Amino acid sequence: MNKTLLTVCTISSAIFLSACNDDNDWDDFFKPPSDIPENNISNPLIRMDAYSATDMSAVASESLVMTYKMLGVNNKEVQATSLVFTPKGAAPVGGWPVVVWAHGTTGVADQCAPTRLPMNEFVKNMITQFLEKGYVVVAPDYEGLGEPSGQELHPFLNVKSEAFSITDAVVAARNYLGSKVNKKWVTVGHSQGGQAALGAAQYASRAKLDYKGTVAVAPASHLDSILTLGEQSVANQPANVQIPVYAGLDMFTALISAGLRNPNPDLKYTQIFKEPSASIAATAETACADAVAYNFAGGMTRYATTNNNSLTGYGRTQDNFLDIPVVKNFISKDAQPLTVKVSTPITIYQGSNDTTVPRLATNALVNSAKDKGTSIQYITDDTNSVKWDHGTAYALNISNIVVDVDNMLAK
């Protein structure tokens, strides 16, 4: 494997992109949801199956894949999947509270669903601690990921879709567990999952339960600017410097495009990408995020090898694709979290060395939310000798996140 492709394989697993936006008129795009429908889905639980990709038997009495009904992005009931873990021992009087884990970017194809994959060591460590504390853990795949029909694409980074994946999974899990759980619940998420967790806070009333708060690490937001900033960061650099960055940006754009084809099936990859990138982007419907980035890098590398280490003339994204109405509407509205005031507690962690979700992005998100009246505990690495990147902002704060959850559920 050549060095460029190895670099992309290394970085692409953490492509949960976001960015900042300095447009003073940004708030004009945002309108609060006029109505958050209550979850009145009849018989929300479809079935429970064993989950064995990661052995949680030391701390979980049950490790299950739950298939449930949720309200989808097209305002129709769809089937979705979620992990459900219950603690060892008998439930306490009054029942266990629920902690939702909202995962980061894996892709939009069914094979990328976390219910089908082993957990990484950090997620397993965190979920282990939650179970040892006596919390039920619900970990949704999100709409379209792993769903039984295999026909629905995951609406990648659609805040409402992610939020309803969470709220409706909690309702279905309570339907299964009955009196073993109480009405208290919180959401924790990283990157795309951080965005989803903030969405859960915004739409928590749908579950008709007692929502206690949100912990979001490096949450995705302001998606258009990351593309512009990413392009600018390697402008006029040789191809071997540009390719790892471009591969990640193009993978991100491909996942957005694939996800947009759920509510907009007539959208074509050639509207977003030039060839040969359009053909590579289409693989996002069947391949996971890492593989899509790898494929983009491979195409660019082959081109640069025969063009004096230059990408001049190589077909990537279409000019002004961000101005396509369906793309513009998605980025300015559907993908932006915290567009209205949230009254429940929110804690956000963000690192200074994060090149996936730049700190400027999260600064802008926090400031905008505070302007709307939302109270946020914003935790950064300003006083630390070791600065956090996208991964370590989560990995180095797991014990702190567990304490945050304890404090939220204690109230």
N residues, the chain: 411
Question: Of the residues 332, 359, 393, which one is the last residue of a structural domain?
Answer: 332
Residues 180 and 294 in one domain: no
For residue 75, give every residue at least 6 positions away whose Cβ sits within 8 Å of its Cβ, in sequence order, or none.
none
Assigned domain for 275 exists? yes
- Alpha-carbon span 153 to 145, nearest angstrom: 7
Contact 68, 80 (CB under 8 A): yes
Assigned domain for 248 exists? yes
Contact 206, 38 (CB under 8 A): yes
181-190 and 96-102 beta bridge pairing = parallel
Residues 44 and 181 in one domain: yes
Q: What is the DSSP string of 325-372?
A: HHHHHIIIIIT----S---S-EEEEE-TT-SSS-HHHHHHHHHHHHHT
Stretch (H or E) spanning 196? helix 192-202
Residues 13 and 102 in one domain: no
Question: Which of 379, 389, 378 lies closest to 351, judged by CA?
Answer: 389
Assigned domain for 103 exists? yes
Residues 195 and 70 in one domain: yes
Contact 66, 146 (CB under 8 A): no
- Identify the sign of the CA torsion 367, 252, 269, 110: negative
The pLDDT tens digits of the residues spanning 106-143 come to 999 999 999 999 999 999 999 999 999 999 999 999 99
Range of the domain at 248: 3-26+224-332
The pLDDT tens digits of the residues spanning 182-234 come to 999 999 999 999 999 999 999 999 999 999 999 999 999 999 887 887 888 88
Question: Of the residues 280, 313, 332, which one is the last residue of a structural domain?
Answer: 332
> pTM (2 decimals)?
0.90
Q: Rounded to whole angstroms, what are the CA distances from 272 to 100, 122, 267, 366?
A: 34, 35, 9, 30
Residues 210 and 83 in one domain: yes
Q: Which residue has the tokens 């859960």?
A: 200
Residues 184 and 284 in one domain: no
Question: If you average pLDDT over every residue of the chain, what do you get?
Answer: 91
Is residue 276 very low, low, confident or very high in pLDDT (cuts 50, 70, 90)?
very high
The pLDDT tens digits of the residues spanning 9-36 come to 433 333 333 333 333 333 333 344 446 9
Assigned domain for 337 exists? no
Residues 210 and 278 in one domain: no
Between 172-181, 227-236, 287-296, 396-405, the lowest mean confidence (pLDDT) is in 227-236
Give the CATH number for residue 114: 3.40.50.1820
- Alpha-carbon span 149 to 272, nearest angstrom: 27
Residues 153 and 43 in one domain: yes
Contact 234, 242 (CB under 8 A): yes
Contact 258, 280 (CB under 8 A): no
Assigned domain for 119 exists? yes
Residues 352 and 270 in one domain: no
Quickly count: other Cβ atoms within 10 Å of residue 17's Cβ: 30
Phi-psi label, residue 157: left if phi above 0, alpha if psi -120 to 50, beta otherwise: left
Q: Rounded to whole angstroms, what are the CA distances from 317 to 54, 70, 280, 281?
A: 38, 34, 11, 10
Identify which has the larger pLDDT, 8 or 360. Answer: 360
Assigned domain for 200 exists? yes
Question: Of the residues 332, 367, 401, which one is the last residue of a structural domain?
Answer: 332
Q: Which residues of 346-359 are buried (b: 16+ CB within 10 A; e: fewer)?
A: bbbbbbeebbbbbb
Residues 205 and 85 in one domain: yes
| Total domains in the fold of the chain | 2
Residues 127 and 193 in one domain: yes
Share of the chain above pLDDT 70, in %: 91
Residues 116 and 229 in one domain: no
